[in-house]
Amino acid sequence: MIRTPKTRAASVLSMRYSRAYIAATIVAVAGLLSGIVVAQSASATDYPSWADVEAARGNEASKQAQITQIQGLIAGLEAEVAATQAEAVAKGEEYGVALEKYGAAEQTADLLSSQAAKSQAEADAASTQAGRLAAQLYRSGGSDLSMNLLMEKTSDGADKLLSKLGNMSKMAERSNAIYESAQAAKNEAESLSKQAEVAVKAREELRVKAEEALAAATAAQQAAEAKLTESTNQQMIMQAQLAALQDATAQTIAGYEAGVAEAARIAAEQARLAAERAAAEAAARGISVSGAGWTHPVPNGYISSTWGPRANFYIPGAGWTGSFHNATDLAAGCGSPIYAASGGTVTYAGAIGGGYGYMVEINHGGGIRTRYGHVSSNGIEVGYGQQVGPGTLIARVGATGLATGCHVHFEVHDSPAFNGIDPEPFMADRGAPL
């Protein structure tokens, strides 16, 4: 993968339609159910209290001013949510591009190091061969040739000596050629080694930038999710406050407060039922988790592309693929469920550049991470920082980013290296073959 379209129709955080959003709502409304109403946001915005609303109801001018203020606050919250989500999209794009650059540098450094090692081996072999020929030449021609010629008594002996001289000359020429070849290979090895050193340095610099981009992207995701949760909570309260201010009847403020609490209770109940349904569906699926705690991420999928070098090809409207496929592609119908391959913490969930489209990343501990790319833009079922177990529904199969059809780009990493490791033997070793 190398590029992804700059514009996306869906938001980075499609949380309003995901379990992660439901979970965030439960957290927000739990405070309401226990009688705790959030009065201020993380940015210290001065939201009106129910006491302010009660006081404003008795005066028409105050009531209209309060209505205008609340409407403005609601619009402001929506704008802030949109801004934080746009920032998350932008940071995700930057992270993907940084990964792409790091991957290219990784491949260049590996290639140059490999070529340098090969040239050095050739130089060593040629030097050894040249040395052996030189030693043989020395042994053959170590005595004075003119003296040998004078001491030969027959023409036959002279012929032998001349033949010997010819052979020695050929050996010398061959020795010189091998020596020159060895020197050339040595020079090439030194040049490639220096290039490899530069490439490794560039790779490390890009690795640091990729890590910084990931940190910025995840921070942007956290901010977007926090703003979304705050907005949901505050808007629920302020919509009820607006209704109270616009109500011409004698209904009390306490009645509206109770209505907010009831709405929270209903949301929590709906989330509980949804969780029960998800658990029942998981049981019905009969997801098999190995003794090592791993499972197939797309049980109904099949391998459509393996990990390793491959020929570049162009995807119209998307761009060129890379020369190294750092994943195992698991093809399945769009919308098919994607499960966490093992337990861990979600470290990324949203849009990302570099061809991934929308991606979920899970840190399983011990240096092991898995990535699930090209997922559906509105099919992400988890959020940053969420704990998941093996078989937890995390997303839906899509074709976002640099993809030719519906599949999951499944990566396994055991180090910061971009290319990671081959998922097939890794999963097979853990009792969950792909």
Place of tokens 């470290």: 347
User: Which among 230, 244, 193, 419 has a CA at the least distance from the CA of 326?
Assistant: 419
Place of tokens 């939201």: 47
- C-beta atoms surrounding 64 within 10 Å: 12
Residues 23-63 pLDDT 10s = 444 334 344 333 333 333 444 568 888 888 888 887 888 88
User: Which among 236, 290, 245 has a CA at the least distance from the CA of 25?
Assistant: 236
- C-beta atoms surrounding 82 within 10 Å: 14
Residue 396 makes CB contacts below 8 A (sequence gap 6+) with 334, 335, 336, 337, 338, 375, 376, 379, 380, 381
Phi/psi at 432 (5° precision): -135, 65
Question: How confident is the model at residue 16, as a pLDDT?
Answer: 35
Question: How confident is the model at residue 341, as a pLDDT?
Answer: 94
Question: How confident is the model at residue 285, as a pLDDT?
Answer: 61
- C-beta atoms surrounding 41 within 10 Å: 18
CA 210, CA 92: separation in Å to the nearest integer? 11
Q: Alpha carbon 411 to chain centroid distance? A: 8
Burial class (CB in 10 A: 0-12, 13-18, 19+), 285: middle
Q: Which helix (H) or strand (E) holds 385?
A: none
Place of tokens 């306490």: 254
Question: How confident is the model at residue 226, as a pLDDT?
Answer: 80
Regions of the chain where pLDDT drops below 50: 1-43, 142-147, 149-150, 318
Cβ(351)–Cβ(377) below 8 Å:
yes
Question: How confident is the model at residue 310, as a pLDDT?
Answer: 67
User: Which among 19, 24, 25 has a CA at the least distance from the CA of 263?
Assistant: 25
CA 69, CA 65: separation in Å to the nearest integer? 6
